[in-house]
Amino acid sequence: MIAAPPMPDSVRETAERDTEPRAGLLLHVRLRFVPSALLFKMLPGVMVRMWVAPLVVAAFGARLATGGEVPVVSFQVSGQASEESSLIWKGNVPEMKEFSICLRVRILQVRDYDVLVSYSVPDFDNEMYIVMDITSNAFVAVIDNKITREQLQGDMSSEYVRVRGGGLFYVGQEQDLHGGGLNKRQSLRADLADYMVLDKALSEDAMRRFTLCQDVAEIGTPIIHMNNVEGDFAVGEDITANATVVREEMCLSKESYTIYFPEKRTFLQSSRVCHAVAGQVYIPEDEETNWQLFYRSQPFEDVCKSDSTDTTWVGSKYDATQNMLVSYRTRRRLSFSKFVSQPSKEKTCASMYTSLNDAEFWFGKWKPKDCDTVMCVCCQVTKVHLMRLRGLCSRSLFDGSYFLYGEVNGKPVFNGLRYSIIQWVTAPDDPATGHWELSVVGQRETRGRMKVTSKAEYPMGIKEWILEGDECPSTTTKLAITTCGPGEYTCRDGTCVAISHRCDLALHCPDGSDESGCESLVLPPGYMSNIPPPKTDDSPVQVLMTVVLGPIRAFEIIKFKMTLDMTVIFTWYDSRIKFQNLKGKEDLNKIDTGLDVPWTPRVGYFGAGNASSDVTLRYLELMAQKKSNPLPDDVQNVSEDEIYLGSENPLLLKQRATIEVTCEFDLSFYPFDTQRCLIEAVLEGVTAQYVVLTKEGSGVSYRGERRLLEYQVRQVEMHDSKGDGDRSGKTVTITLDNLYMYYVSSTYIPTFLLIFIGMLTFFFPLDDFNDRIMVSLTSLLVLAALFTQVSASIPKTSYLKLVDVWFIFCICIVFSVVATLTAINYFKRSPKVSPLVVVKPAMQPTTDNKITNASISAINRLCQLTFPVIALLFTVGYFIVVASRRA
């Protein structure tokens, strides 16, 4: 009975050989590692040379009677490649004009040429040569009950071609010379069954029935078969022919197999070990599978037993909340169980009694168990997975793919697809200790040794190895053996998680290794961070600049300064670097700004008149931005980290700072003024020949409160900086409008009312001089006081501001009112009342030189009209100028 698992899917490349045309048949057949049956028929009269990709077959038939056991021949049982491992047919090989070859094969390791048939005659070593390298040329194949028909390709001979008789027929070894020239790299490590050569061409229907393990009456008697290997063949070294397999089992498509780990672990630890080999803790579904687990576990009783004879975990768990038995992994309800007692909340796991020393009643029974108890585990693998070896260089002599098959020293063996093998090696004088050894078949000097901390440690996952005799330069290196497929990440313990979970700030690996080593930046050796990125097409590197302003902390009109928060984002590409494990959100791609940092732009900030600004850095973040897909996975990297090119994914430098900048204010139209404050950003340490600043989009935005105490932010814009010559820069302009309503309500309206009050004195009685003069003087004094107060709260300038013009007009017009009132009173004629009679000299004039009361009244009425008109005209003209300025 052959219990080895089927081989997984794989592809390999082979080299062309023996290209000189000769009479005969040269066929390279490529097969696939699946449990399917293959029968191929070679047609006469054709010279065919083909090299194709491997496929591997599990096809096993010879004389077909359904049922019964079929002998199985195993080549290179030890796993060592050898030129002596072959079968040589003792009988005579007749001449054949047509023939069919039927076989079932399970490849255990791939060689350069996996030789199924090597038939030579004295003058030609490749009279008939069949290796596992199948192509669609010159054959009809039935694989998995599907017929494949392909056209012949190659050199067609005009002569009738036949297979000449009387030669040497080898199985498992190629003859480079007639009867010699054997090479261990052109050999076979496989199991063969139902092997036969017919001197007839079978029909497609017969081939189909052969692959289905049905009767094929037309087969007849083969000229070569393996019913009696010891008698009919000269058996070489490292070959066994004493095993048998039930024919019907060879035709099953079942791929599942088991791996037993004879070390004690908790149930959780055991499930992780099974996960690392793409399996699960064995779950018996019926009596048959329960007995299979029992017999699979029984050989390890001595190393797994403790104080009881239950030694092996069962993958069934008790769900106390729903009072039912479920699969530990899928939570699917299970109907089969063999418990000897009822599980409980404290004992939800199950173990199996596996000792043959117990009474028969206990065979295969289950025992409720605390999940923290340590037991051995049998893992059930439902589909064969290749285990990849990651971390080796491309020139390495070690295989890159492995599968589990066989046991050495009580532990599973990792078989390479070609020539490597990983197995547990113990010292002859101390079997209790040992280590995992990676070796190349036939090359004792090429090997690796895994550093182990305990006997229960396995190569799955990321481990440290010491290599000797390999083409890779490193002697001590980390290697990973993993079953994880595309889109998955290998945890340190060998379990698999989705690659999207790598470095996402959440723990998914049992050991948390998915969140370790999450540095996004990968710098090449010799990287110099003081040198800017190289030019692209002889154009300077563009650094995109985005500025986010706000809030404005202080706008000091008196000190000609503005203080505000500013976030500046620089974006650029550096083709020298790479990134790993980038996410869609930049915040998850932060780069530590420690010693090993890439080149970053240094920018100086200046205010008006090229005055240096005071910059207080609040925080600085360097991030990568995901813009492209990752590079194809490279098995030379020990982990499946996704690698991104720096030429396709930019760096982002985000700076948040508080900046105090000097501004040049023009207060001519204060308080109806519009101010512009400039912030100039200039690249430092590099000229525009190599790096230029470029705005991204509009380049600047404002996100703070726009309405300040006295001013309101109208707009922000970015434009090219005049700079200081050869350095690139950008200038941010902030435009602010004065919130003049405060001055309108606190200055203009009160002063206008004071003017109005002063002009109202013209409507007082002409004889009431005291009231008229007191009211107008009071208005004048209040205006002067307001002027002094307002002037103290605004910047002092050498030029008149618009508010100064207003106050000067107001004071002047009220002063004119006071002067006019005084003049009117002076020239006004006042009647005199006296009891005495004044006797005037005869020569005194009788006409009074003073203005009459009627004239004074006319002047007063004129002032009542003139002063308001002057004030109104000035006010209208004043605010027309204001409106035109703000427009």
The reported pLDDT for the residue numbered 253 is 61
Q: pLDDT tens digits for 650-666?
A: 999 999 999 999 999 99
CB 25 within 8 A of CB 48: yes
pLDDT at position 675 is 93
Q: Contact at 8 Å (CB) between 64 and 210?
A: yes
Beta-carbon contacts of 553 under 8 Å, excluding residues fewer than 6 positions away, are 563, 564, 565, 658
Residue ranges, comma separated, of all CATH 3.10.100.10 domains in the chain are 257-381
CATH 2.70.170.10 range(s) for the chain read 541-738
- Mean pLDDT throughout 745-767? 91
Q: How many whole angstroms separate alpha carbon 484 and alpha carbon 269?
A: 18
Q: Which of 168, 162, 163, 195 is nearest to 181 (CA)?
A: 168
Cα–Cα distances in Å, from 168 out to 22, 92, 227, 700, 732? Answer: 18, 8, 19, 85, 90
Across the range 752-760, mean pLDDT stands at 92
Amino acid at the residue 7: M
Question: What are the start-end ranges of the E strands in 173-218?
Answer: 189-198
Dihedral angle sign, alpha carbons of residues 752, 758, 759, 765: positive
Where in 803-864 does DSSP place strands (E)?
none
Per-residue pLDDT at 33 exceeds 70: no
Q: Tell me the fold of 541-738.
A: Acetylcholine Binding Protein; Chain: A, (2.70.170)
Q: What is the CATH number of domain 741-829+849-884?
A: 1.20.58.390
Strands (E) located in 521-650: 521-522, 541-556, 561-572, 578-580, 590-591, 602-606, 614-624, 643-645
Assigned architecture for domain 27-250: Sandwich (2.60)
d(CA 850, CA 845): 13
What are the φ/ψ torsions at residue 593 (nearest 5 degrees)? Answer: -90, 55
Peptide bond into 540 cis (omega under 30): no
Assess whether pLDDT exceeds 80 at residue 225.
yes
Q: pLDDT tens for residues 826-838?
A: 887 555 444 555 5
Given this model, what pLDDT does residue 831 score? 53
Q: Which pTM was predicted?
A: 0.74
Residues of the chain with CATH 1.20.58.390: 741-829+849-884
pLDDT of residue 40: 34
pLDDT given for residue 523 in this prediction: 93
Give residue 520's Cα distance to chain centre. 10
* 41-44-45-47 Cα dihedral, nearest 10 degrees: 50
Asked whether residue 570 carries a pLDDT value surpassing 50, the answer given is: yes
Report the distance separating Cα 645 and Cα 288, nearest Å: 55
% of the chain at pLDDT higher than 90: 54
Q: Which of 107-121, 664-678, 718-732, 786-800 ranks highest by mean pLDDT?
A: 664-678
**What tokens appear for 758 in the block?**
């002063």
Q: What is the DSSP letter of 339?
A: B
Please tell me the distance from the alpha carbon of residue 877 to that of residue 880, in angstroms, as a whole number.
Answer: 5
pLDDT of residue 631: 95
Q: How confident is the model at residue 811 (pLDDT cuts 50, 70, 90)?
A: very high
Task: Give the pLDDT band (50/70/90) at residue 755.
Answer: very high
**Both tokens of residue 163?**
């297979």
Map residue 751 onto helix, strand or coil.
helix
3-state helix, strand, coil split of the chain in percent (to 5) is 20, 35, 45
Residue 590 CB burial class (10 angstroms; 0-12, 13-18, ≥19): middle
Given a cut of 60, whether residue 138 has pLDDT beyond it is: no
Count of other CB atoms within 10 angstroms of residue 433: 10
- Residue 161 has what pLDDT? 56
pLDDT tens, 831-868? 544 455 555 554 444 445 455 778 888 999 999 999 99
Mean pLDDT for the stretch of residues 520-544 = 92
Cα distance from N-terminal residue to C-terminal residue, the chain: 99
Look at residue 841 in the predicted model and tell me its pLDDT.
56
What's the CA gap between 544 and 694, in Å, rounded?
5
Fold of 257-381: Mannose-Binding Protein A; Chain A (3.10.100)
Residue 296 parent element (H or E): helix 287-297
Dist CA 172 CA 163 (whole Å):
20
Count of other CB atoms within 10 angstroms of residue 206:
23
φ and ψ at residue 220, rounded to 5 degrees: 70, -145
DSSP state of 15: -
Structure confidence by residue, pLDDT tens digits, 666-699: 999 999 999 999 999 999 989 999 999 999 999 9
Q: Where in the chain is the domain with CATH 2.60.120.200?
A: 27-250
Between CA 210 and CA 172, with CA 213 as vertex, the angle to 5 degrees is 65
State pLDDT tens for residues 379-427: 999 887 889 999 999 999 999 999 888 888 889 999 998 889 999 998 7
